[in-house]
Protein backbone atom coordinates (compact mmCIF):
# COMPACT_ATOMS: atom_id res chain seq x y z
CA UNK A 1 0.00 0.00 0.00
CA UNK A 2 2.79 2.44 0.89
CA UNK A 3 4.43 1.61 -2.43
CA UNK A 4 1.28 2.63 -4.33
CA UNK A 5 0.97 5.85 -2.32
CA UNK A 6 4.59 6.69 -3.06
CA UNK A 7 4.10 5.90 -6.74
CA UNK A 8 1.03 8.18 -6.87
CA UNK A 9 2.81 11.02 -5.07
CA UNK A 10 5.78 10.77 -7.41
CA UNK A 11 3.53 10.76 -10.44
CA UNK A 12 1.91 13.98 -9.24
CA UNK A 13 5.28 15.56 -8.49
CA UNK A 14 6.78 14.61 -11.83
CA UNK A 15 3.82 15.85 -13.87
CA UNK A 16 3.65 19.03 -11.76
CA UNK A 17 7.28 19.56 -12.72
CA UNK A 18 6.46 19.27 -16.40
CA UNK A 19 7.09 15.65 -17.35
CA UNK A 20 4.55 14.16 -19.78
CA UNK A 21 2.31 11.59 -18.08
CA UNK A 22 3.79 8.58 -19.92
CA UNK A 23 7.33 9.61 -18.99
CA UNK A 24 6.29 10.31 -15.40
CA UNK A 25 4.68 6.88 -15.08
CA UNK A 26 7.72 5.12 -16.49
CA UNK A 27 10.02 7.04 -14.18
CA UNK A 28 7.88 6.41 -11.10
CA UNK A 29 7.87 2.71 -12.00
CA UNK A 30 11.67 2.75 -12.27
CA UNK A 31 11.84 4.26 -8.79
CA UNK A 32 9.72 1.45 -7.35
CA UNK A 33 12.44 -0.94 -8.50
CA UNK A 34 15.15 1.39 -7.22
CA UNK A 35 13.59 1.44 -3.76
CA UNK A 36 13.24 -2.33 -3.70
CA UNK A 37 16.94 -2.60 -4.56
CA UNK A 38 17.82 -0.18 -1.73
CA UNK A 39 19.58 2.02 -4.27
CA UNK A 40 20.30 5.40 -2.64
CA UNK A 41 20.67 7.41 -5.82
CA UNK A 42 18.08 10.15 -6.25
CA UNK A 43 16.58 12.25 -9.04
CA UNK A 44 16.62 16.02 -9.24
CA UNK A 45 12.86 15.60 -9.59
CA UNK A 46 12.85 14.33 -5.99
CA UNK A 47 14.90 17.26 -4.73
CA UNK A 48 13.54 20.33 -2.96
CA UNK A 49 16.09 22.47 -4.77
CA UNK A 50 14.74 21.74 -8.24
CA UNK A 51 13.20 24.90 -9.67
CA UNK A 52 11.00 25.40 -12.69
CA UNK A 53 8.50 23.40 -14.73
CA UNK A 54 9.75 21.70 -17.86
CA UNK A 55 12.81 23.97 -17.98
CA UNK A 56 14.60 23.27 -14.76
CA UNK A 57 17.32 24.86 -12.70
CA UNK A 58 19.08 24.04 -9.46
CA UNK A 59 18.54 26.24 -6.43
CA UNK A 60 21.54 24.71 -4.69
CA UNK A 61 24.01 24.82 -7.56
CA UNK A 62 27.08 25.65 -5.46
CA UNK A 63 26.77 22.61 -3.23
CA UNK A 64 25.62 20.43 -6.10
CA UNK A 65 28.57 21.58 -8.23
CA UNK A 66 26.45 21.41 -11.38
CA UNK A 67 27.57 24.80 -12.67
CA UNK A 68 30.05 27.55 -11.94
CA UNK A 69 27.91 30.67 -11.70
CA UNK A 70 24.27 31.56 -11.00
CA UNK A 71 23.51 32.35 -14.64
CA UNK A 72 24.32 28.72 -15.53
CA UNK A 73 22.03 26.95 -13.08
CA UNK A 74 19.91 25.38 -15.83
CA UNK A 75 19.74 21.60 -15.70
CA UNK A 76 19.67 19.31 -18.72
CA UNK A 77 16.66 17.02 -19.01
CA UNK A 78 18.85 13.92 -18.89
CA UNK A 79 20.37 15.02 -15.58
CA UNK A 80 17.00 15.73 -13.99
CA UNK A 81 15.66 12.24 -14.77
CA UNK A 82 18.83 10.26 -14.01
CA UNK A 83 19.40 8.76 -10.55
CA UNK A 84 22.57 10.18 -9.02
CA UNK A 85 24.42 10.89 -5.79
CA UNK A 86 24.28 14.68 -5.58
CA UNK A 87 25.96 16.39 -2.61
CA UNK A 88 23.33 19.14 -2.70
CA UNK A 89 20.28 16.87 -2.66
CA UNK A 90 17.51 17.57 -0.18
CA UNK A 91 14.39 15.45 -0.29
CA UNK A 92 11.24 17.12 -1.55
CA UNK A 93 8.43 16.95 1.00
CA UNK A 94 5.28 15.39 -0.36
S1 LIG B 1 20.82 19.97 -5.54
FE2 LIG B 1 21.47 18.29 -6.86
S3 LIG B 1 19.72 16.86 -6.89
FE4 LIG B 1 18.99 18.86 -6.17
S5 LIG B 1 18.22 19.93 -8.00
FE6 LIG B 1 20.36 20.55 -7.66
S7 LIG B 1 21.58 19.15 -8.95
FE8 LIG B 1 19.54 18.23 -8.69
The string over 34-68, giving b where at least 16 C-beta atoms fall within 10 Å of a residue's C-beta and e elsewhere, is eeeeeeeebbbbbbebbbeeeebbbebbeebebee
How high is the mean pLDDT in each 10-residue block of the chain (94 residues)?
A: 93 97 97 95 96 92 78 85 95 80
What's the pLDDT at 58?
92
User: For residue 21, how far is its CA from the centre of ligand 1 (angstroms)?
Assistant: 22
Structural domain spans, the chain = 2-80
Nearest CA to ligand 1 atom 5: 50
What's the pLDDT at 71?
66
β-pair partners for 57: 51, 74
User: For residue 83, how far is its CA from the centre of ligand 1 (angstroms)?
Assistant: 11
For ligand 1, say whether the CB of 45 is within 6 Å of any of its atoms: no
Amino acid sequence: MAEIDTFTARLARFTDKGLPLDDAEALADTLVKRDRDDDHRRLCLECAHLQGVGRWSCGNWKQAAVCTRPADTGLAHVLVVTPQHCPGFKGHKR
